[in-house]
Structures are given as C-alpha cells and as structure tokens.
C-alpha cells in the first residue's frame, strides 16, 4: 500500500477545483468546498504546513475521489 503524498491545503484546493468543486465559503483558515452534485468537504489552509495523511484520506472519502484520481489532478 502506497502512502499519501505530502500536499499543502492550497494545492489540494486547486486540485479539487479541477474536479468540479467550488469554494463556497471560508471561515478563518478553513475553506468549505462543495460539488454541484452535493458532495462537500472542509480543507484547512495553514501556511507552511501540509495536510496529514489521515485528514487527506477523510477529505478524499468526503469527495468520493481515489488517490489515483488525486494524483492526476495534481
């Protein structure tokens, strides 16, 4: 089993926008993204920090994306 890539919150948001998600609102450093079909998730953007592997796995489950699909979007 391969590991998740180290990715920043801003880079993850750019990838999710390519997948059709929109940034519907921001509260502090947390960006709320929603897809037209109703899928939604929250991505934290903290300068100098990357998203942890557990949180990245949860975001991918929320978005119904695989690791392979994420790699293609990056």
pLDDT, one tens digit per residue, over 20-50 is: 999 999 999 999 999 999 899 999 999 888 8
DSSP 1-55: -PPPPPEEHHHHHHHHHHTTEEEEEEETTEEEEEETTS-EEEEE--TT-EE-HHH
Q: Spell out the domain ranges in the chain.
A: 7-73
With beta carbons less than 8 A apart as the criterion, state whether 66 and 60 touch: yes
CATH 3.30.920.30 fits 7-73, yes or no: yes
Packing angle, helices 9-18 and 53-63, rounded to 10: 20
| Interval 2-27 mean pLDDT | 87
Tell me which H or E stretch contains 61: helix 53-63
Look up the pTM and report it.
0.84
pLDDT at residue 70 greater than cutoff 80? yes
pLDDT at residue 22, rounded to an integer: 93
pLDDT at residue 1 greater than cutoff 50? no
Counting residues of the chain whose pLDDT is more than 90, the rounded percentage is: 50
């Amino acid at each position: 089993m391969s590991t998740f890539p180290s990715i920043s919150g801003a880079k993850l948001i750019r990838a999710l926008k390519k997948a059709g998600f929109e940034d519907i609102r921001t509260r502090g450093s947390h960006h709320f993204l929603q897809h037209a079909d109703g899928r939604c998730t929250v991505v934290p953007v903290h300068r100098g920090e990357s998203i942890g592997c557990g949180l990245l796995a949860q975001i991918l489950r929320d978005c119904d994306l695989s690791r392979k699909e994420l790699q293609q979007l990056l």
